[in-house]
Amino acid sequence: MKPPIILINYKAYENSYGEKAIEISKKIEKISKNYGIPIIISVPATMIYKLSQEVELIIYAQHVDSVRHGAHTGSILPEMIKDSGAKGSLLNHSEKKIRLDEIHEALTRMKNLGLESVVCIDSYELVHPLALLKPDAILIEPPELIGSGRAVSKERPEVITKAVDEVKKVPGVYLLAGAGITTGEDVYKAIQLGADGIGVASAVMKAENPEKVVEDFVANAIKAIDKRQ
Amino acid sequence: MKPPIILINYKAYENSYGEKAIEISKKIEKISKNYGIPIIISVPATMIYKLSQEVELIIYAQHVDSVRHGAHTGSILPEMIKDSGAKGSLLNHSEKKIRLDEIHEALTRMKNLGLESVVCIDSYELVHPLALLKPDAILIEPPELIGSGRAVSKERPEVITKAVDEVKKVPGVYLLAGAGITTGEDVYKAIQLGADGIGVASAVMKAENPEKVVEDFVANAIKAIDKRQ
Amino acid sequence: MKPPIILINYKAYENSYGEKAIEISKKIEKISKNYGIPIIISVPATMIYKLSQEVELIIYAQHVDSVRHGAHTGSILPEMIKDSGAKGSLLNHSEKKIRLDEIHEALTRMKNLGLESVVCIDSYELVHPLALLKPDAILIEPPELIGSGRAVSKERPEVITKAVDEVKKVPGVYLLAGAGITTGEDVYKAIQLGADGIGVASAVMKAENPEKVVEDFVANAIKAIDKRQ
Amino acid sequence: MKPPIILINYKAYENSYGEKAIEISKKIEKISKNYGIPIIISVPATMIYKLSQEVELIIYAQHVDSVRHGAHTGSILPEMIKDSGAKGSLLNHSEKKIRLDEIHEALTRMKNLGLESVVCIDSYELVHPLALLKPDAILIEPPELIGSGRAVSKERPEVITKAVDEVKKVPGVYLLAGAGITTGEDVYKAIQLGADGIGVASAVMKAENPEKVVEDFVANAIKAIDKRQ
């Protein structure tokens, strides 16, 4: 993982699975290759294997359970997503919240398997506590802006700057910003405010021209990171 | 779906995914073909696609969420499992219990998609209420016997006979029995008591020779169904 | 329990506890006594004892857990609410949903203790399954109308008539209707459509003059029941 | 709150409510008065009011919900427990776990109301993250020892010493130790290892002579704290 970090969460949108998922993934892959920037896509568990065969993108699960091998019908284990081709997973997304002890246990398991982790959280006050658990990155998303089209970097820039201050208290954890990010400018602003990258979903998944949207994001992310250095 | 119904739940055992899952599935497939009996395997979401490519067995998910397309990070939709090659799903397994309204919504969604459903339940008193929701089958499993090696058909035969009485109040719903089933004799007894088939997990997944265990189950299931007619 | 059944759910409104709860309860008690009609109030667990000392109304809990005596920190047992003066409890309110096996276990426990039960549900398709568990009453509330001020009896009368048809399949279970009920006319209509009574919350708890609102409800409920006979 | 802190969790034991709860509370009160040491009792929500009238002990709830006033049937708000006479609450007990954002929100609400808080946790690695949220105290309890009769201070002393090291990273948060504490010696040892007090449940609630048990605990707690200074 290396900034700028671009994470696209497929959620359970109509194009998150099946042929449509492969189609949009190939468009994202094209931008990733053109710009030489790895892009993370976070996909339904059923699609991890197929997409890992079809595209050269960094494939994440959207959630993993923290239980171990055994009698756990319906659980998705870290070992299972790794076996299918995932390089990591989101954890604690606001649409799939888990408890602190579950985050802790899942992170421990994932580290042992060499899997990356992005832990999501709603409020900057919880960034430091979660950073102590040493995920690879924390993705902060004010829930009221998720899917709103109003970007966190414009509407609530202080959430990003405060979260950046908090995450710096623990070395080695990246900070991503998300919620409402729609334009390349939103991405640029987020990184300027100190974020190491961004998380998006609807802006890409519901776009008429996702290729163009991702290109705009990537170009601005590179520009913002370059300026920072 | 047609009796005798044999459902093997892979749970999250070490051989529920990866190469080991393909290996055991091929052994099960062999018995299925030799005896001309379809066998249901209920597998982790990450494995549905791969196994549907590798073996001619009836592939089920272990759980589906009842939400619809949209912003539902981490959810597994009926549409997703169907797209990956599943023919149906378990619902409400005692290791992944959901609420009545969720069972109802999931069943409605699955029927519209032509997916089969097996709803699990702990006690025979709840068989009639659940049968009213018209799943394809109900799998009754006294929780204290799950994984115990002490078969429901021997230890608590009255649970099966009562469940059979209850399920008959709603035409068109099959009754499977599970929990502790270890030998072909357990299977024979369960069907003799009125069950249309059985659900197993550890007896197969942890067997030294799973092929032999499944063969014993299938042969006895056929014998019991033949005798019934 | 005898129609017309009037159930007022205090929820967690500002006047659901403390002096304000006693004040509004005394107003409700006045109407109950004037009209000779018992009224059920469903109150926070912390208030059961105090209100049972202060007013002659039928006091219900808003929820009970189905666990038994033992190491269950934070659980509210049927025995606890009974000891404090409750005569029964709501179960499975759409704001506190529980699973089918939990409803079943809680009802079994409550019956043994002589406690009444009102099980809430969202859709009429689930009325028959729940009626089989033999609660004293089922309260049907289309969730989109709860707290809306648009009464179920006007906006979706077919929900009530269908629920009434369903509940009649099991003798001895009453059917209450709720969601959006605001005026005496709404109450009258609900009972005319076949309901044995109604459930309300915000219309009373947020009223400027709750006494007048409850009087309007009670008078219309009596009139509708009289007409039915 | 001031060391030595003695917290007795009534859980849902048979004597956690009703006359038996008053009886045992009066015995605890006697020791509290004799030794001039305040004792915290954590009681079912239904009993907060009654016990606050009957005994001079520090009464805690066993759990509070983090929601605000409004349509939240079945929720116990911080305002409700305060109104009934509670001085604080346990949060996140291993038998009533909640999420990190819920702990954070509940603590914020409780502080505004002047309520004390004891957050429970299973493993020392999570002590520092939780201490950052500034509860009054953290109670560490290895789950495998809860109710075991094998004291954390003897079986796993390193859990206490590590937790003490962690809690010191955030000034102003006390550390309590619990799980399996049965004798005064267990209490003495826990405080010697650096704990500011202890949490117990079954050792008192299931004792033949609870008065004697509590006296043994209190005497040893005082002795250990004296020695520390």
C94 sits in the region (left: phi over 0; alpha: psi -120 to 50; else beta) called: alpha
Residues of C in contact with B130 (CB under 8 A): 100, 129
Q: How confident is the model at residue D58, as a pLDDT?
A: 98
pLDDT surpassing 90 at residue C168 = yes
Q: What is the mean pLDDT of residues D116-145?
A: 96
Tokens (6 digits) for D225:
């704290």
Q: What is the mean pLDDT of residues A24-33?
A: 98
Distances (CA, A) of D66 to A94, C225, D111, D141, D151: 16, 41, 12, 23, 32
pLDDT surpassing 90 at residue B45 = yes
CA quadruple B74, B75, B79, B83: dihedral, nearest 10: 30
Question: What residues of B act catalytically?
Answer: 93, 141
| Confidence check on the interface: ipTM exceeds 0.90, yes or no | yes
Residue with tokens 């998609």, as numbered in its chain: B113
Answer whether B71 sits within 8 Å of A95, measured CB to CB: yes
Among the residues of chain B, which ranges form H helices? 18-35, 48-54, 78-84, 100-112, 127-131, 152-155, 157-167, 184-192, 202-205, 210-228
Answer whether A73 sits within 8 Å of B83, measured CB to CB: no
Least Cα separation, residue B209 to chain C (angstroms):
36
Helices C100-112, B100-112: crossing angle, 10 deg rounding? 150
Answer whether A123 sits within 8 Å of D101, measured CB to CB: yes
- Chains D and B physically touch (3 or more Cβ atom pairs below 8 Å): no
Residues of C in contact with B97 (CB under 8 A): 99, 101
What confidence category does residue A159 fall into, taking pLDDT thresholds of 50, 70 and 90?
very high
Q: How confident is the model at residue A144, as a pLDDT?
A: 85
Answer whether B80 sits within 8 Å of A47, measured CB to CB: yes
Q: What is the mean pLDDT of residues A166-179?
A: 96
pLDDT surpassing 80 at residue D229 = no
Say if residue A60 carries a ligand binding annotation. Answer: no
What is the DSSP annotation of chain C? --SSEEEEE-TB-GGGSHHHHHHHHHHHHHHHHHHT--EEEEE-GGGHHHHHHH--SEEEES------SBS-TT---HHHHHHHT--EEEES-TTS---HHHHHHHHHHHHHTT-EEEEEES-GGGHHHHHTT--SEEEE--GGGTTSSS-HHHH-HHHHHHHHHHHTTSTT-EEEEESS--SHHHHHHHHHTT-SEEEESHHHHT-SSHHHHHHHHHHHHHHHHHHH-
Residues of A in contact with B12 (CB under 8 A): 67, 69-73, 75, 77, 80
Residues of A in contact with D119 (CB under 8 A): none
Question: What residues of A act catalytically?
Answer: 93, 141
Q: How confident is the model at residue B143, as a pLDDT?
A: 85
pLDDT digits (tens, 9 = 90+) for B197-215: 999 999 999 999 999 999 9
pLDDT digits (tens, 9 = 90+) for B140-196: 998 888 878 888 888 899 999 999 999 999 999 999 999 899 999 999 999 999 999
Tokens (6 digits) for C15:
């006047």
Nearest CA in chain D to C9: D73
Q: How confident is the model at residue C147, as a pLDDT?
A: 79
Q: Which helix or strand (DSSP H or E) is residue B73 part of?
A: none
Question: What residues of D act catalytically?
Answer: 93, 141
C110 contacts: CB under 8 Å, gap ≥ 6: C64, C78, C88, C89, C116, C117
Answer whether A125 sits within 8 Å of D104, measured CB to CB: yes
Least Cα separation, residue A12 to chain D (angstroms):
23
Tell me the CA end-to-end span of chain A in Å, nearest whole number. Answer: 17
Q: Which of A23, A46, A91 to mutate to test the interface with B (most CBs of B within 10 A)?
A: A46
pLDDT surpassing 90 at residue D181 = yes
Chain A neighbours, 3+ Cβ pairs < 8 A: B, D
Least Cα separation, residue B159 to chain C (angstroms):
16
Coil/strand/helix, residue B91: strand
Say if residue D58 carries a ligand binding annotation. Answer: no
Out of C98, C123, C133, closest to residue B129 by CB: C133
Q: How confident is the model at residue D221, as a pLDDT?
A: 97
What confidence category does residue D92 fall into, taking pLDDT thresholds of 50, 70 and 90?
very high
Q: Which residues of D touch C (CB under 8 A)?
A: 9, 11-14, 16-18, 42, 44-50, 62-63, 67, 69-77, 79-81, 83-84, 90, 93-96, 146-147, 201-202
Binding site residue list of C for substrate: 9-11, 146, 180, 201-202
